[in-house]
Amino acid sequence: MKCRVISALAVVFAIAAVAFLLTALTRSDRPADEEHPFGYGKERYFWSLMAAVSIFTSGAVFALYEGFSTIFGEGHEQTSAWVGYAVLGAASAMPMISLTPPTSFNCCALRRLSVMVTRLTGVPSLVRV
């Protein structure tokens, strides 16, 4: 039951982030008027910030939920030490992946994806977000 609730909350926060990004795209494409002579392009940054804040908020909510349920709920004691060592090893190895130099295949694939999305949507920043 707990996994379903956490999964449902993750979906809700992901939908909120996508809604913020769609709002960013639609509101920033409005033409210039007397109040905004240079247009509304900077609204894209504000709504992208709101999407990032919603993602960080979801992480904080999950962390607080897990913390309170661990402290005040019924404790489940882990009796085998290999689980802790496996998690520690994986957490230590994951940052090393970002330190590996990119291969030419990855660079070319990302470049092609960026060009394709820019041609289809006309929004070059969409790939970066």
Question: pLDDT tens for residues 72-125?
Answer: 877 666 677 888 888 888 888 877 776 766 665 566 666 777 777 777 777 766
Residue type, 10: A
Locate 10 and state its tokens: 């993750």
Q: Left (φ > 0), alpha (ψ -120 to 50) or beta: where does 71 sit? A: alpha
Residue type, 19: A
Closest-CA residue to 57 (of 87, 90, 20): 20
Comparing 9 with 111, the larger pLDDT belongs to 9
- pTM for this structure? 0.54
Domain-wise residue ranges, the chain: 1-75, 98-129
Question: pLDDT tens for residues 32-82?
Answer: 888 888 888 888 899 899 999 988 988 898 888 888 887 887 766 667 788
> Is-contact 78 84, C-beta < 8 A?
yes
